[in-house]
Structure 1
Amino acid sequence: MSQLFRLIFRIRNFLLFVILELISFWLIVKNDYYWEVSFFNTSNYYAAKTLEASNYVKSYMNLGNVNEQLVKENAELKKAVTAMQQLKGREGDYYKVDSAFAQRFEFKVAKVVNNTVNLSKNYLTIDKGKLDGIEPGMGVICPQGVVGQVMQCSDHFSRVYSILHADFNVSSEVKNKALRDKSDKALGIAKWGGLNPRVIDLTTIDRFKPIKQGDSVMTSEQNVIFPSGTMVGKIRKLSAKQDQAFFDIEVELATDFQNISYVYVVNNKLKNEQEKLEESTKVEVKK
């Protein structure tokens, strides 16, 4: 405390000068209308700028919470849209989809906490696990398209097979107007070739199907873990030799795995029922 007093005593002349300057400025402002108005306008301007900067900083600091709220809202919207798409069925088809079947998909939001793209077998780690209702075998998508499948779970985290995994493949379908007009389907298997993390191969597409560069590739109705119509990517290159039965197709992935932040874990509530039935049928065939 004594040091503070000694400091004030040493700069007493400077402090007296500052105080007198402030008093002089206040007297000028109070006794001169022009200066009063100028001071009022200037102080309001800087106060507004300070408030604007403060609000900008608060908004920036709150972006994380805003993003989490948005992805949760998107999950609910995706559930509703998926149910409507599944219920609609194919255009012109007499078959009517059961509402329980159409609403079988649920979506849970998760954040990506680790991700690889430069291996032959790539994985993601997400911040949701068994305690959040996540189970091995569930599909994983993002707003852009297919991501992968849950491989393993702990209480709070899950390990996900990326679509950029040598052992993972997705039943896919090419969509375009020519196929719709003919009521035809171009079904194939999307599988990563192990090189470019932005490109995946599409195999077993009949070379006589009317498909072309730029056509959309989506998950087919033969998926158990993904809703049909989930984006896989777009055809960027296709070719076929005379002696080949199928196209050689390269698909540019819709999902950018190098910039993925949030995902939706897909729960097909009827998956176990379907797989149990199919497994029992296989046992009967073997007999």
Structure 2
Amino acid sequence: MRSLIRYLLKNHAFVLFVLLEGFALTMVFNYNSFQKATYLNSASRLTGTVYNMFHSVTGYFGLAKINRELAGENARLRSLLENQPGYFLSPDSTSSTQLQNDSVFRFITAEVINNSVNRPLNYLTLNKGRKQGIKPDMGIISNRGIVGVVGQVSESYAMGLSVLNQRWSVSAKVKKNGYYGSLMWNGTDYRYATLAEIPLHVDVAIGDTVVTSGYSSIFPEGILVGTISDFTRPDGENYYAIKVKLFVDFKSISHVEVVENTDRQEIDELDKTLKNDRQAN
């Protein structure tokens, strides 16, 4: 402690300079939009670079598992393309998702270089960004199913909200009957999510597959979400409380695809027009 005090007294001018410089930079970035945007973009690029370097080292030790997964995925893809052109593969042959040859969805491959699962608001960082065509509000999926949605984008990196983020929900449906609701995470177990708004008269059972509904411009219809692991009928409610076991293991996710809807702008413009008409009436 005495050594620290002596150092501060000896270098008080330098310490004061650093503190004032930090205060000045904070004022500049907080009250000037251009400088703030420049700083955030640079910080995202620097953070992404660090994550990418770390991912390159740690990723080496998981190559064997990744190669096995890719080999299996390639085999399933070849089989599916030879027999049923126009299908988007899911990991379960009983629940593959058909995309028409004229589908408006385009897929961009990426790697997850940072990820969290134990917080109320979990995010993941991808090694692709603006120059590779990534934009905010694009969906993120893996060969196992839905992963999340892109939030912020820098030149070479993107940060997304994962399914394990309590501020985000997605429209999903019970595959066998088409009834849809909102899928969200309750902040406890990273392996499970909750499907709400499914009416009590609907037939549901443990083991039923849950997929994306297609009622948004982010994901195609039928992308895997998970299976129903439990459900209850809350007293005084008109809807089930459904627990869904997610197909994606967020503890080991590494390779993903970012989904672009090429008709997104047109759809959003129509939605905006409809909202304006409702407000006018």
Q: TM-score, normalised by structure 2?
A: 0.67
Taking structure 1 as reference, are residues 188 and 62 closer, same or farther at Cα in structure 2, changes over 3 Å only?
closer
Q: From the superposition, tell whether residues 187 and 62 of structure 1 become closer, same or farther in structure 2 (CA, over 3 Å).
A: closer
**What is the correspondence of 1:91-130 to structure 2 with a 5 Å cutoff?**
100=102, 103-130=103-130
Matched, 1:251 2:244: yes
Determine if contact 2:86/2:99 at 8 Å carries over to the other structure: no
Q: 1:135 to 1:215 in 2, by over 3 A?
A: same
Q: CA RMSD in A?
A: 3.0
Residue 187 of structure 1 aligns with an amino acid whose one-letter code is Y
Which of these residues, 74, 85, 88, is aligned with residue 98 of structure 2? 85
Q: Please tell me whether the aligned partners of residues 203 and 246 of structure 1 are also in contact (alpha carbons under 8 angstroms).
A: yes
3-state SS in 2 of match to 1:257: coil
> In structure 2, do the counterparts of structure 1 residues 69 and 216 end up closer, same or farther at CA, with 3 Å as the change threshold?
closer
Report the Cα offset of residue 244 of structure 1.
1.6
> Is contact 1:72–1:109 with CA below 8 Å preserved after alignment?
no
User: Percent identity of the aligned residues?
Assistant: 32
Name the counterpart of 2:261: 268
Please give the secondary structure, in 1, of the residue aligned with 2:275.
helix
Change (3 A) 1:286 1:211: same
CA shift in 2, pair 1:110/1:71, >3 Å: farther
Greater percentage in helix:
1
Aligned to 1:156: 156
Counterpart residue identity of residue 98, structure 2: Q
Identify the residue that residue 229 of structure 1 maps to in structure 2: 222
Q: Using the alignment, how far apart are the partners of 1:123 and 1:61 within structure 2? A: 21
Letter in 1 for 2:251: Q
Specify the alignment match of 1:147 in structure 2: 147
Counterpart CA distance in 2 for 1:274 and 1:218 is: 22
C-alpha distance 108-75 of structure 1, shift in aligned 2 (>3 A): farther
Question: Take 1:242 and 1:279, find their aligned partners in 2: how far apart are those partners?
Answer: 38
- Post-superposition offset of 1:82: 3.5
Summarize the alignment of residues 1-287 of structure 1 with structure 2, pairs less than 5 Å apart. 80-82=86-88, 85-87=98-100, 100=102, 103-176=103-176, 179=177, 185-287=178-280
Kept in 2, the 8 Å contact 1:201–1:251? The answer is yes
Structure 1 residues 75, 119: CA separation in 2 closer, same or farther (over 3 Å shift)?
A: farther
Alignment match, 1:3: none
Listed as ranges, the gaps of 5+ residues in structure 2 are 1-60, 90-96
Q: Is the 8 A contact 1:82 1:227 kept in 2?
A: no
Letter in 1 for 2:166: A
State the structure with more CA Rg: 1
Separation in 1, partners of 2:62, 2:240: 50
With over 3 angstroms needed to count, the CA separation of the structure-2 counterparts of 1:138 and 1:63, relative to structure 1, is same
Measured at CA, do residues 275 and 71 of structure 1 come closer, stay the same or move farther in structure 2, by a change above 3 Å?
A: farther
Structure 1 residue identity aligned to 2:230: K
CA deviation string 1:229-284 (max 9, x = no partner): 11111111101035220001110111100000100000111111101111012112
The change in CA–CA distance for 1:132 and 1:68 in structure 2 (over 3 A counts) is farther
Deviations along 1:160-198, one digit per CA (max 9) or x if unpaired, are 10010011111000023xx3xxxxx31111000011100
**Contact 1:216 1:234 survives alignment (8 Å):** yes
Distance 1:62 1:251, change over 3 A: closer
For residues 22-69 of structure 1, the C-alpha deviation after alignment (integer angstroms, 9 at most, x for no partner) is xxxxxxxxxxxxxxxxxxxxxxxxxxxxxxxxxxxxxx9986996898
Number of positions where the alignment pairs a residue of Structure 1 with one of Structure 2:
208
